[in-house]
Structure formats: C-alpha cells, structure tokens
Amino acid sequence: MKFGPVLSRTTIQDSVYQQLRQALMNAQFDPDQTLTIASLAETFGTSNMPVREALRRLAAENALEISSGGSARVPVVTKARLDDLCRARVTLEAMATELAVPLLTQDDLTTLQNIVSEQQTIGREKDVYTLIGKNQEFHFTIYRASGSEVLIQLIETLWLRFGPYMRVLSTHSAPLIKAGVAEPSGHHQTILQALRDRDAARAKAAMIADIEATQEVLRTLCPE
C-alpha cells in the first residue's frame, strides 16, 4: 500500500491514523514487524508528533504494541489469539448478517454480485491485497446494511486486530489462487444466494462457515 502525503494540519493526525489503520486491516504489515516513528514520519512527510499519536490510538485498539522507545510493533500471531478473535467475529458478524437480510437493497445485492464476479479474476490478474480489499468490501456492504453503528464499530476493531492473520493467509494463499488451486470467493457465492433469497438463517450460517473456514486454514499456519 502506498501512503499519500498529508497536507492539512487540521487533519494530519487523523489522516495518518486512518491510512495506518487501513493498511493494518488490509494485511500490509507482517506479524511482529516494527514500525518506527521516524520512518513513518518520513513516509508521510510529517513531523513525529502526528505519527506518535496515531500509533498510540492504534495501540489503544490493540492493533499495535508500543515499545518503551516509542516505536510500535505489529502483534505476533498465535492459535490462542486467532481462536479468541474468531469466536468474537462469529458472534458479531453473524448477528450483523442476520439483521441485514431484510434491509439489503437491490443496489446492495448488485454491488455484492459485482464483487463476487471480480473476485473470480482478481486473484489471478492482480496482487492478493486487491483481493483482500474486495473481501473487506463484500463483508462490510452486508454489515453496513444492518443499520447498527455499534456492531459495525466492533467488527471494524476485530478486523483491525485480524490484519496480521490475513497477512499470514495472503502469503499462503497467493500462489494457490494464481495457480487456480484455491477458490477466492466460494463462500461468498453461498452467502449472496442466501441474501437474495432473504433467508436470514442460511445467510447467517454461511457467514459463520466463511469465518470458520479461514480460521481452520490459519490454525495450520499459526504457532502455538
């Protein structure tokens, strides 16, 4: 991911925070990677202060860990943390999906269909991080339709903390998708059909299956 320059002093800290937040959510950083204030400030073209504050905000969301020297570290991945995050994801995302079913508009369903169609070719034609972005777009198109601001905020925080695991998954899956061995959107097709049928129970079950399938793969890749 390429970071853009921050030009307005009134939005500088928020811009740094939002760009780092999105990068973490989109698996742009490795587990246990160190992020130094000086290098990030140089990248953003800012002073150290807005970077320091952005890192503190992300640490407050448990997305980063701050060292005594002020630099930040991406959390390591473990099976225990993975299972804990996935338990929470299943509960909240299944609930958001169930709430969304009767509220999704035809435009929403068309958007979801377009995303699924794009996912069929993106993995082979573009980098895996574009695919991760489309995966996020698919899920949050559904969750936003739930009408619950609280659920969306909580789910976003979980996805932020899930970023290092998506990094591990992307490294593993990228060559398989390009070779046509792995299917990038199989569960999404099942979810979409249930949404079209306005079948809340089936949509909820399919969303849980999607999360648990990712968890199962990651359990083979994460250390204890």
Q: List pLDDT tens digits, range 126-175.
A: 678 888 899 999 999 999 999 999 999 999 999 999 999 999 998 888 77
Residue 48 pLDDT > 90? yes
Nearest of 195, 189, 205 to residue 102 by alpha carbon: 195
Domain locations in the chain?
A: 12-73, 79-219
> Crossing angle of helices 149-178/106-125, nearest 10°?
30
79-219: CATH number:
1.20.120.530
pLDDT for the residue 52: 93
Looking at the chain, the whole-number percentage of residues with pLDDT higher than 70 is 89
Mean residue pLDDT of the chain comes to: 91
pLDDT for the residue 125: 66
Residue 116: CB partners within 8 Å, gap ≥ 6?
Answer: 138, 185, 188, 189, 192
**Mean pLDDT, residues 63-69 taken together:** 89
**Mean pLDDT, residues 8-27 taken together:** 87
Residue 109 pLDDT > 60? yes
pLDDT for the residue 123: 63
pLDDT for the residue 38: 94
How does residue 120 score in pLDDT terms, banded at 50, 70 and 90? confident
Could you tell me how many residues make up the chain? 224
Torsion of CA 75, 77, 80, 84, to 10 degrees: 70
How does residue 11 score in pLDDT terms, banded at 50, 70 and 90? confident
pLDDT for the residue 73: 96
Q: Do domains 12-73 and 79-219 have the same CATH topology?
A: no
Least confident of 97-111, 116-130, 175-189: 175-189
pLDDT for the residue 182: 60
12-73: CATH number:
1.10.10.10
